[in-house]
């Protein structure tokens, strides 16, 4: 397996970007991470992709064919990465509920490279004088290593009194080289 970072740009043509991702899947590729931005009718996407080595020459030819249709690969860089080891984050948060907190937590996790795969929340009102208490349980896949202490501090800064418990585990996938 080979890991690439691809920077792709072109006019905002969602169907063309969809076909590009389908091509990666056809070559048994796995998109490990992606970011996209659309500005003024132009789209730029960055993909971190893991591909089997036997498809590399075919991939180069297909990428050139996409350029004819206006989707240009402006940067293709091979990086050192073990596609078989993935880290997963388990996060439990308890505390006072405030409007928008769940959204802020998800955005914070995304900025740290975590893709939320499971989110379960529970709300309780204990008395007339206490506010609503919430409990979140989140599972996410990490696209890059992270500092547990920095993430805890960042989450704790979203609102006072949060009780945060997080853990990181490694899960090996069964991708063949």
Domains and CATH numbers, the chain: 2-79 (3.30.70.260), 85-172 (3.30.70.260)
Higher pLDDT: 156 or 175? It is: 156
Check: pTM over 0.75? Answer yes or no: no
- The Cβ of residue 160 has, within 10 Å, a number of other Cβ atoms equal to 9
Percentage of the residues of the chain whose pLDDT score is greater than 70: 90
How high is the pLDDT of residue 2? 85
Predicted pLDDT of residue 82: 54
Range 114-119 average pLDDT: 86
Q: Which two tokens stand for residue 159?
A: 């609102």
DSSP track, 107-140: HHHHHTTEEEEEEEEEEEE--SSS-EEEEEEEEE
For residue 92, pLDDT over 90 is answered with: yes
Distance CA 82, CA 86 (A): 9
């Amino acid at each position: 397996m080979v890991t690439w970072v691809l920077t792709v740009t072109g006019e905002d043509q969602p169907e063309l970007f969809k076909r590009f991702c389908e091509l990666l899947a056809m070559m048994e590729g796995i998109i490990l991470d992606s970011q996209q931005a659309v500005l003024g009718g132009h789209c730029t996407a960055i993909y971190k992709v893991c591909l089997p080595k036997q498809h590399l020459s075919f991939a180069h030819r297909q990428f050139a064919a996409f350029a004819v249709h206006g989707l240009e690969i402006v940067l293709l860089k091979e990086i050192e990465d073990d596609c078989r080891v993935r880290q997963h984050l388990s996060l439990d948060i308890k505390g006072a509920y405030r409007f928008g907190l769940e959204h802020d937590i998800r955005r914070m996790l995304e900025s740290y490279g975590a893709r939320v795969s499971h989110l379960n929340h529970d709300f309780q009102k204990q008395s007339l004088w206490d506010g609503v208490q919430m409990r979140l349980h989140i599972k996410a896949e990490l696209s890059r290593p992270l500092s547990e202490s920095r993430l805890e501090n960042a989450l704790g800064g979203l609102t006072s009194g949060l009780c945060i418990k997080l853990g990181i585990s490694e899960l090996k996938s069964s991708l063949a080289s």
